[in-house]
């Protein structure tokens, strides 16, 4: 049996039994009293305590790809690299100690002197059908980027061997470990100090000739950080013109002059909407600034660049939610909708290129460049995937099952957690053992994306 760790004085140390998890369907510890000859498969699966690449998931995917192949449906997927914070504590389960770093080195065995601070989960998500499945689990503290680049390539190889074609890898560009450096280690060329026109936001598939895998940075993570940064720095520049957050603060404090009509409902409605829009800094702020500027008020002149910036951020948030349903900014990125999405995507890329190229861009705003580069890579890759996968499919296989579109919502890292790694009711983060049990259970079946309510 594994002994207690030497650094247990600063970590909670718990010996677990089956009663410590109330989640239905999670693996339970095996004892002499609960072993059953009638359930040999469950017993053997419960004894599989390995982290790293999850072989059970690949068998599920092999069966899925065989079914799709018979029906002429391509298995076109994205790989999500999600990082999950953990409650740091050691727990003993089936004679194995959880809480160490493991699964992310030359050996999948735990490192008995290192406590893990987060879990890294590889999730495969279908870009055509309604399913996802975790395929890798790693407990890390200060992960080696070179190793993770190698393990991503190994995962892509194994997925291709079971018939799954990965065309994108989603990461968090703000992560100290899985941002720009990991993408570049894989073969992309993304340097925040260089001209954006030089970016290569993709790398070659390790085992599929002439195939590229596009880098996606999750804009749902970038946008809140970008807005927070802007609120603290106040001024950034677009082509030399200031984009002032102080205008947004001024709106909230602004009251109508006595000379205004009491029937001015436009401003009354905008003022009420601002109360609901305050935390997300959405389009209501742009509408309010446009309204006040249009009245000719001197203190709101020069708000044009700020209005445009807010509207661009709102547009990005809407794109990330596109999932093929009516009533959205556009239904999807498809051949039928090219006249809608292509101009929007092109303008957004060019907009952030201009901000990065601006000569008045202060050196101390280099963090801001990470945000803008992450957004540009997102749209560059969406456009690149469409050109590499959607258009050729329409041209070469016009009468068979088509890749109908790109749905940007499928690339969000929140899919890693939703429906699989929900936080307990207490609001605390799961422990390494809690994550392990949930992921092990999740690798045995495909999970619907519709359950994520995106």
Q: What is the pLDDT of residues 123-160, one digit of tens each?
A: 999 998 899 999 999 999 888 899 999 999 999 999 99
Does the structure show a pLDDT above 60 at 375? yes
Mean pLDDT of the chain: 80
| Nearest of 416, 381, 435, 408 to residue 122 by alpha carbon | 416
Give the pLDDT confidence score for residue 189 in this predicted structure: 95
Across the range 94-103, mean pLDDT stands at 87
63-80 CB burial, b ≥16 within 10 A, e <16:
ebbeebeeeebbbbbbbb
Of the pLDDT bands very low, low, confident and very high (cuts 50, 70, 90), residue 305 is: very high
Of the pLDDT bands very low, low, confident and very high (cuts 50, 70, 90), residue 252 is: confident
Task: For the chain, give the number of residues.
Answer: 454
- Are 190 and 183 in contact by the 8 Å Cβ rule? The answer is yes
CA count, 13 A, side-chain hemisphere, 202 = 19
Parallel, antiparallel or unpaired: strands 132-140 and 52-53: antiparallel
Across the range 159-174, mean pLDDT stands at 95
Across the range 298-319, mean pLDDT stands at 92
Parallel, antiparallel or unpaired: strands 165-171 and 96-98: unpaired
Across the range 302-317, mean pLDDT stands at 93
| Nearest of 223, 196, 178 to residue 361 by alpha carbon | 196
CA 375 to chain centre: 12
Phi, psi for 208 (deg, rounded to 5): -115, 115
| β partners of residue 213 | 203
Which tokens sit at 407? 């749905």
Give the pLDDT confidence score for residue 256 in this predicted structure: 62
CA count, 13 A, side-chain hemisphere, 143 = 26
| Nearest of 51, 60, 132 to residue 86 by alpha carbon | 51
**Which class for 343: exposed (0-12), middle (13-18), buried (19 or more C-beta within 10 A)?**
exposed
d(CA 20, CA 33) in angstroms, rounded, equals 18
Give the pLDDT confidence score for residue 296 in this predicted structure: 83
* Tokens 């520049």 sit on residue: 237
Of the pLDDT bands very low, low, confident and very high (cuts 50, 70, 90), residue 241 is: confident
d(CA 339, CA 146) in angstroms, rounded, equals 41
Q: Tell how many helices (H) and how many strands (E) occur in the chain.
A: 13, 14
Handedness of CA 413, 138, 423, 43 (dihedral sign): positive
Sorted by sequence, the CB contacts under 8 Å of residue 293 that are 6+ apart come out as 300, 301, 303, 304, 307
Phi, psi for 215 (deg, rounded to 5): -85, 125
- Triad 250, 252, 253: Cα angle to 5°: 65
Which tokens sit at 299? 């203190």
Give the pLDDT confidence score for residue 36 in this predicted structure: 37
d(CA 64, CA 165) in angstroms, rounded, equals 13
Of the pLDDT bands very low, low, confident and very high (cuts 50, 70, 90), residue 181 is: very high
Which tokens sit at 204? 């070659």
User: pTM of the prediction?
Assistant: 0.84
């Amino acid at each position: 049996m594994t002994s207690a760790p030497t650094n247990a004085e600063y970590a909670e140390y718990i010996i677990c039994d089956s009663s410590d998890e109330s989640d239905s369907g999670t693996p339970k510890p095996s004892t002499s009293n609960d072993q059953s000859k009638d359930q040999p498969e469950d017993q053997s699966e419960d004894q599989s305590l390995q982290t790293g690449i999850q072989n059970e998931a690949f068998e599920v995917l092999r069966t899925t790809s065989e079914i799709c192949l018979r029906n002429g449906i391509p298995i076109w997927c994205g790989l999500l690299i999600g990082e999950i914070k953990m409650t740091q504590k050691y727990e003993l389960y089936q004679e194995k100690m959880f809480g160490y770093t493991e699964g992310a080195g030359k050996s999948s065995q735990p490192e008995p002197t290192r406590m893990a601070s987060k879990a890294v989960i590889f999730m495969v998500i279908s870009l055509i059908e309604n399913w996802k499945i975790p395929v890798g689990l790693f407990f890390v503290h200060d992960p080696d980027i070179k190793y993770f680049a190698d393990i991503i390539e190994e995962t892509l190889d194994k997925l291709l061997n079971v018939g799954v074609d990965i065309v994108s890898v989603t990461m968090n560009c703000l992560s100290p470990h899985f941002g720009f450096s990991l993408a570049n280690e894989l073969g992309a060329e993304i340097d925040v100090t260089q001209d954006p026109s030089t970016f290569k936001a993709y790398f070659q598939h390790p085992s599929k000739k002439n195939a590229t895998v596009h880098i996606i940075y999750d804009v749902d993570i970038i946008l809140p950080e970008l807005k927070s940064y802007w609120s603290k720095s106040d001024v950034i520049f677009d082509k030399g013109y200031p984009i002032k957050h102080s205008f947004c603060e001024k709106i909230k404090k602004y009251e109508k002059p006595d000379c205004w009509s009491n029937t001015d409902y436009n401003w009354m409605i905008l003022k009420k909407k601002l109360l609901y829009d305050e935390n997300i800094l959405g389009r209501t702020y742009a509408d309010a600034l446009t309204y006040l500027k249009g009245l000719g008020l001197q203190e709101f002149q020069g708000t044009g660049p700020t209005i445009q910036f807010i509207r661009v951020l709102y547009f990005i948030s809407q794109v990330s939610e596109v999932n093929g349903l009516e009533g959205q900014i556009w239904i999807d990125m498809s051949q039928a909708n090219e006249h809608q999405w292509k101009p929007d995507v092109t303008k957004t890329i060019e907009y952030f290129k201009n901000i990065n190229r601006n000569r008045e861009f202060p050196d101390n705003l280099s963090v801001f460049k990470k945000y803008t580069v992450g957004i540009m890579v997102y749209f560059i890759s969406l456009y690149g995937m469409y050109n590499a996968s959607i258009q050729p499919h329409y041209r070469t296989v016009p009468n068979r099952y088509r890749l109908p579109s790109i749905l940007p919502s499928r690339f969000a890292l929140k899919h890693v957690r939703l429906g699989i790694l929900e936080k307990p009711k207490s609001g605390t983060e799961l422990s390494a053992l809690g994550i392990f049990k949930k992921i092990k259970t999740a690798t045995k079946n495909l999970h619907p994306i519709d359950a994520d309510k995106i």
